[in-house]
Amino acid sequence: MSKFYVTTPLYYVNDKPHIGHAYTTILADVLARFHRSNGDEVYFLTGTDEHGQKIQEAAEKRGVDPQTHVDEYVQNFQNLWKKLHIDYDDFIRTTEPRHTDRVKELLQELWDKGEIYADEYEGYYSVSEERFITEKEAEEGDFREIKKLKERNYFFKMSNYQDKLIEHIETHPDFIKPSTRRNEVLGFLKKPLNDLCISRPKSRLNWGIELPFDKDFVTYVWFDALLNYITAIGWRNDNDKFEKWWPANYHLMAKDILTTHAVYWPTMLMASDVQLPKTILSHGWWMMGETKMSKSLGNVINPMDFIEQYGVDPVRYFLMRDMVLGQDASFTEDGFIRRYNSDLANDFGNLVNRVTILIHKHFDSKIPQPGKFDEVDLELIGVAKSTPQIVRKHIEEMKIPDAIEVSISLMRNLNRYLETRAPWKLVKEDKSAWSVSATTLFLSADILRIGAQLLHPVMPSRIETILSILGASKIPINDVSLGLLKAGSSLGEGKSPFPRIDVK
Ligand code: ME8
């Protein structure tokens, strides 16, 4: 048994969550469920980023104070996660004292150690990214609103850690995944790294954590939010807990916030004498046509509406099945329906109905007693026995679509096996053929159960329905060995929870 600590980004509570936020959180949930079912001890952390300019502006727009705003908007996230069956272990809000107290202590310590210094700085400032940008970035980048600012501020000596960070990335191939993103970060680090401006004068922004050594400033929202990954697990508060979980196995996020996680965060940890996380995993974007789905562009899919219409598990399935790690993916209702109908309604759902209807009709609703296995049976058994191992390997390598595909492909194999055996014809023939169809249906039901169990982390609720239809709800979800469905045990009631979606 080992430990598995996985995190999502802390989402800004300036707006409601959309499919992009749902994706990262479902991915973390699937990994957490998979590791739990493997017997690992799991800590799955998510939460909300509640300080900074974006939040202050959102509250001003609504005419409420920021605290009232965040207390209301955090519920949009918590409600959606509940609806999506997200089984997190902890939800951290950056306005909680368990977080803010530690952030203040660290700021003071870094100031005392000389890791933070004051300086006057004149430069370009991106309003949307809430940070100073270089002249080159200002010329080339896609920043909507840029201001020229001259300000006294506080800076973290990030540049001191540039060489150490490059060395860490080069000697730890799994530190940033996938490798394309790792190369991007190494490319970025070829240029001199600036120190990081970690303060905002209260004259511009007062919704943040006050600098303990200068009451006229609050800290930069990222210098606050990133620390959640250690404050949530008891850093400098509950040492046993911290030692148990840190370093994180995975920080999950999309590529938009890779630099903050792969450059700012490790250097902050180095300055604080804390070990670095094991893997920073950056996935692609869900796109609407050619553009990124994003709050500021307003082209978002509201997950609540989609779930109401199609159900939670099909949405979880589609998001996990259709995004290859590291690549962008396109979200369309047509694509969703096509995937649902082919994998879930046809390959999986029909199989559930076929197998259970035949057992109800010809075997008195009881799992038949198998006879001797022949070559065709043994070939199928071979495939079924090797599948769990392959799924495990794909998940460990973060190839979630491949893990799903292998499980669905087991269903396709079963469908073909049934076509070959045609038990619906055999049962009409003489008694000697009965034992062949009993064997066929016994194996089909048992292997169908294994395929279903492998998909449990992705679709927990509907898989449990299927297991109860197969009379297998008492079999431990993590046991995918063959032969656990006992001959003579009764099937449950019901039919496949994946009815076909008719396309208008
Ligand atoms: O960046 N496709 O919060 P945020 C895929 N508060 N994933 C997407 C997505 C899309 N179109 N849009 C959003 C912040 N995401 C900071 C994080 S962490 C200490 C602070 C997901 O609300 C994806 O995980 O803008 C992305 O990285 C995150 O939401 C950004 O969430």
pLDDT tops 70 at residue 67? yes
Cα–Cα distance, 340 to 103 (Å, whole number): 45
Q: Mind listing the pLDDT tens digit for each residue in 113-122?
A: 999 999 998 8
CA-nearest residue for atom 18, ligand 1, is 9
Cα–Cα distance, 178 to 215 (Å, whole number): 42
Q: How far is the CA of 161 from the centre of ligand 1 (A)?
A: 26
- Ligand 1: which of 6, 8, 11, 280 to mutate, most ligand atoms within 8 Å of CB? 11
The whole-number average pLDDT for the span 123-134 is: 82
pLDDT for residue 123: 86
**What letter represents residue 220's amino acid?**
Y
Position in ligand 1 atom list of the atom nearest CA 282: 27
Q: Which of 131-145, 316-330, 341-355 has the lowest mean pLDDT?
A: 131-145
Partners of 286 in beta bridges: 329
pLDDT for residue 127: 76
pLDDT for residue 431: 67
The whole-number average pLDDT for the span 9-13 is: 97
Tokens in use for 290?
A: 């050619």
Q: How far is the CA of 12 from the centre of ligand 1 (A)?
A: 8
Three-state secondary structure string covering 64-133? CCHHHHHHHHHHHHHHHHHHCCCCCCEEEECCCHHHHHHHHHHHHHHHHCCCEEEEEEEEEEECCCCEEE
Residue pair 343/321 in contact by the 8 Å Cβ criterion = yes
256 lines ligand 1 (CB under 6 A): yes
Beta sheet of 41-49, edge-to-edge order: 90-93, 41-49, 3-12, 250-254, 279-283, 176-177
23 lines ligand 1 (CB under 6 A): yes
The whole-number average pLDDT for the span 153-175 is: 98
24 lines ligand 1 (CB under 6 A): yes
pLDDT for residue 20: 94
Q: What are the respective helix, strand and coil percentages of the chain, to the nearest 5? A: 50, 15, 35
Partners of 329 in beta bridges: 286
Cβ-count burial 86-118 (b if 16+ within 10 Å, e if not) = bebbebbbbbeeebbebbbebbebbbeeebbee
Position in ligand 1 atom list of the atom nearest CA 8: 24
CA-nearest residue for atom 14, ligand 1, is 11
Residue 309: CB atoms within 10 Å: 12
286 lines ligand 1 (CB under 6 A): yes
More confident residue, 37 or 304: 37
Cα–Cα distance, 122 to 132 (Å, whole number): 9
Position in ligand 1 atom list of the atom nearest CA 254: 27
pLDDT band for position 288 (cuts 50, 70, 90): confident
Cis ω on the peptide bond leading into residue 178 (within 30° of 0)? yes
73 lines ligand 1 (CB under 6 A): no
Q: Mind listing the pLDDT tens digit for each residue in 394-420?
A: 999 999 999 999 999 999 999 999 999
Single out the residue of 130, 159, 156, 158 nearest to residue 143, CA to CA.
Answer: 130
pLDDT for residue 9: 98
pLDDT for residue 296: 75
Q: How far is the CA of 184 from the centre of ligand 1 (A)?
A: 19
Secondary structure of residue 251 in the 3-state scheme: strand
Q: How many residues does the chain have?
A: 504
pLDDT band for position 299 (cuts 50, 70, 90): confident
Position in ligand 1 atom list of the atom nearest CA 292: 11
Q: Which of 69-73, 123-127, 417-421 has the lowest mean pLDDT?
A: 123-127
Q: Mind listing the pLDDT tens digit for each residue in 456-471?
A: 999 999 999 999 999 9
Q: Residue 165 burial by CB count (10 A; 0-12/13-18/19+): exposed, middle or buried?
A: buried
Position in ligand 1 atom list of the atom nearest CA 12: 22
CA-nearest residue for atom 31, ligand 1, is 11
CA-nearest residue for atom 3, ligand 1, is 11
Q: Mind listing the pLDDT tens digit for each residue in 435-455?
A: 889 999 999 999 999 999 999
225 lines ligand 1 (CB under 6 A): yes
pLDDT for residue 136: 83
The percent of residues in the chain predicted with pLDDT above 70, rounded, is: 99
Q: How far is the CA of 9 from the centre of ligand 1 (A)?
A: 6
Q: Residue 292 burial by CB count (10 A; 0-12/13-18/19+): exposed, middle or buried?
A: middle
- Ligand 1: which of 257, 263, 268 to mutate, most ligand atoms within 8 Å of CB? 257
Residues contacting residue 262 through CB under 8 Å, at least 6 positions apart: 169, 175, 176, 181, 185, 280, 282
Q: How many Cα atoms within 13 Å fall on the side-chain side of residue 212?
A: 15
Q: How far is the CA of 21 from the centre of ligand 1 (A)?
A: 6
414 lines ligand 1 (CB under 6 A): no
Residue with tokens 């066929």: 440
Residues contacting residue 155 through CB under 8 Å, at least 6 positions apart: 116, 117, 118, 119, 121, 195, 196, 197, 198
11 phi, psi to nearest 5 deg: -75, 145
- Ligand 1: which of 256, 263, 297, 400 to mutate, most ligand atoms within 8 Å of CB? 256
Residue with tokens 């999506």: 84
Q: How far is the CA of 198 from the centre of ligand 1 (A)?
A: 21
The percent of residues in the chain predicted with pLDDT above 90, rounded, is: 86
pLDDT tops 70 at residue 307? yes
- Ligand 1: which of 7, 19, 24 to mutate, most ligand atoms within 8 Å of CB? 24
The whole-number average pLDDT for the span 170-192 is: 97
Tokens in use for 66?
A: 């920021």
279 phi, psi to nearest 5 deg: -140, 130
Tokens in use for 214?
A: 């200068």
- Going from N- to C-terminal start, the domains of the chain cover 333-469
Secondary structure of residue 261 in the 3-state scheme: helix
In the chain, the largest separation of any two C-alpha atoms, in whole Å, equals: 94
Cis ω on the peptide bond leading into residue 266 (within 30° of 0)? no
pLDDT tops 70 at residue 4? yes
CA-nearest residue for atom 21, ligand 1, is 21
The whole-number average pLDDT for the span 76-100 is: 98
Single out the residue of 212, 199, 196 nearest to residue 104, CA to CA.
Answer: 212
**What letter represents residue 7's amino acid?**
T
Superfamily of segment(s) 333-469: Isoleucyl-tRNA Synthetase; Domain 1 (1.10.730.10)
Residue pair 261/283 in contact by the 8 Å Cβ criterion = no
Q: How far is the CA of 120 from the centre of ligand 1 (A)?
A: 32
pLDDT band for position 434 (cuts 50, 70, 90): confident
CA-nearest residue for atom 4, ligand 1, is 11
Summary mean pLDDT of the chain:
94
Q: How far is the CA of 254 from the centre of ligand 1 (A)?
A: 6
